[in-house]
Structure 1
């Protein structure tokens, strides 16, 4: 799965689960300040990413995630670990 594929899947997750328009989900977009996610949304996002990758995300790994690019990187690291 390429970085572009991952970003497209993440855009779909944001649209389906949080009602965020895909064009707002750019690599530079800050999850909490620009996309208005809260801590509950972050947990929901982690669950969706686990479903997408089939891998468990360690909470300490996800704490450093602040932007969409960070989410893409986290997914890439999970996919590599398979």
Structure 2
């Protein structure tokens, strides 16, 4: 899956989950500060990303994911080879 396709899917999840305009989702958008996500919001987001992409993100790795760009890069580098 191309990074743009990953970005589009992650953006849709963010827009839905955090009820923001899809156009405001950028690589630099910070999940914790820009979206004011608490720990429950963040865990739910990570679970939704895992379901969407069929991958698992460890708690330690999830804590390091702050921006949309970091989430996209993580998914791109951890995709199952098909």
Distance 1:45 1:77 in 2: 19
Structure 1: runs of 5 or more not aligned: none
Q: SS of the counterpart of 2:78?
A: helix
Higher RCO (CA < 8 A, seq sep 6+): 2
Distance 1:77 1:28 in 2: 18
**What is residue 44 of structure 2 aligned with on the other side?**
44
Segments of structure 2 that go 5 or more residues without pairing to the other structure are none
Secondary structure of 1:74's aligned partner = helix
TM-score by structure 2 length? 0.87
* RMSD (Å), alpha carbons: 1.6
- Name segments (4+ residues, structure 1) moved above 3 Å: none
